[in-house]
Amino acid sequence: MNTGRLIAAGLLAGLVLNMGEAALHGAVFADSTATAMKALGRDIVGSGSDTAQLVAITFVQGLLGMLLYAAVQPRWKPGAGTAARIGLVLWVLSAVYSAVYLSAGLAGLLPLDITGTPVAYELILYRLAFVAGSLVYKER
């Protein structure tokens, strides 16, 4: 395993994920999220530490996804196809799980457009992030 390239690839994947999530939640769903939170009597404004935690965990997702890619690519062939499959795995473990948890565990609390619709967007985002990372990761 090429540790230096693994870290660079993971950080790139995390950066792509963070940029995509910022666009999704900071722009596309900003108004509908604010409306839903207002209906719940909550203020949408988070702290800087909230944002830092989200950014950090998303970089960890990028690193873990690229670690998984590095682990499986000797068995599967290296490249975009394998990276896209890794993106699919991370998407299920993150986006799909979160949507199901919010919809089932907190049923009716948030509208479906906020909990479910981003899942389709993130299917593309997660695959794109790990394909980008795969362009950086190369074995020794």
pLDDT of residue 112: 72
User: CB within 8 A of 75, min separation 6: which ones?
Assistant: none
Dihedral, CA of residue 21, residue 25, residue 28 and residue 31, to nearest 10: 180
Q: Would you say 22 and 55 are in contact if contact means Cβ atoms under 8 Å apart?
A: no
pLDDT of residue 76: 92
User: CB within 8 A of 79, min separation 6: which ones?
Assistant: 73, 134
HSE-up (13 A, CA, CB side) for residue 104 = 6
C-alpha distances (whole Å) from 71 to each of 10, 14, 77, 82, 104 are 13, 18, 11, 11, 33
pLDDT of residue 59: 97
pLDDT of residue 97: 82
Q: Which residues of the chain have pLDDT under 70?
A: 44-46, 102-108, 111
pTM score, whole prediction:
0.84
